[in-house]
Amino acid sequence: MQPITIVTTAGRPDERSLALAAFVCEQLHIVYEPRRKRAITTMAKQLHAHIIVAGKDRFAYYPLSAIEPFFFHPNSAAFRLKRVARGETDPFLVATQLSKGETLLDCTLGLAADAMLGAYQVGDTGRVIGLEGNRNVAFIVKQGLQQYDVTTLPLTACMRRIEVIHAQAIDYLLMLPDNSFDVVYMDPMFEETIEEATNFTTLRHAGVQAGLTEQWVQHAVRVAKKRVVLKAHFRSTWFASYGFQQMTRTTAKFHYGVIEKERRDEGLL
């Protein structure tokens, strides 16, 4: 039997957390379960359920059997944006080559750190859409991007501009016409786990884990005007298998790969 998703509150709910729980019920069409002093792990086992906790300051998501919750936070985007604002480079922006007013489709949004960099680069005249295949994760990230209290600009403005859509990447790509976005970006869960990336442990448990496929790459190339960018473990066979030019970085355990649309099109002529 597939687990259901329910919403509850912190141990001692106040009016705000109850109102937030009601909001989750309305948005996701799920039911509210009173906490009654039970531990989240106990509730999950009793009800065979994933649990979203509406707290005073944030939403937290506990997939069934998970010990640690998934919740939104800016992750690495805060210090990366500070570096970019100082005029330093960022490997993601080097790979994507985004400009003001352009459009980015992030097929694997995660915690949206790369999407925030993209939103900064394209500015308020550009557009960034992020896809997340897990409905609960999509909700947590969407609410976090809209509500997270960040006093450091330009991070807040970048967060607010990202549009979160609950959809599997290939399903969404199939609906799009050719040349819909300047850049299509994908960061599937790595074939190999990077030990240092402990902040993604809960996301790996909660999110949709989809490997790259020929169909995915084919439609990403069709939808992109300029280029398709892949992020993967430096030993990944995806770069060579799907025609990405791998951008090696000797100090990093993940690399970016690029398919430039103009060059791909010229090769077909």
**Per-residue pLDDT at 208:** 54
Q: Check whether 203 has a pLDDT greater than 70.
A: no
Closest-CA residue to 173 (of 225, 114, 218, 126): 218
**Per-residue pLDDT at 195:** 44
**Per-residue pLDDT at 202:** 57
Residues 141-156: pLDDT tens digits? 999 999 987 776 678 8
- By three-state DSSP, how is residue 79 classified? helix
Which tokens sit at 222? 């069709």
The residues, ordered by sequence, that sit 6+ positions from 215 with a Cβ below 8 Å of its Cβ are 170
Please indicate whether the domains covering 4-62 and 77-268 agree at the CATH topology level. yes
Tokens 């280029």: give the residue: 227
% the chain with pLDDT above 70:
88
Identify the band that residue 267 occupies on the pLDDT scale cut at 50, 70 and 90: low
Instruction: Give the residue-averaged pLDDT of 25-48.
Output: 95
Residue 233 has φ and ψ, to the nearest 5°, of: -60, 145
Instruction: Give the residue-averaged pLDDT of 42-67.
Output: 92
Domain borders along the chain are 4-62, 77-268
DSSP code at position 200: G
User: How far, in Å, are 184, 188, 190, 207, 214 from residue 31 at the CA level?
Assistant: 36, 31, 34, 21, 39
Q: Are 114 and 187 in contact (CB under 8 A)?
A: yes
Q: Which strand (E) or helix (H) includes residue 172? A: helix 169-175
- Cα–Cα dist 33/13, whole Å: 12
Topology of domain 4-62 in CATH is Rossmann fold (3.40.50)
CATH code, 77-268: 3.40.50.150
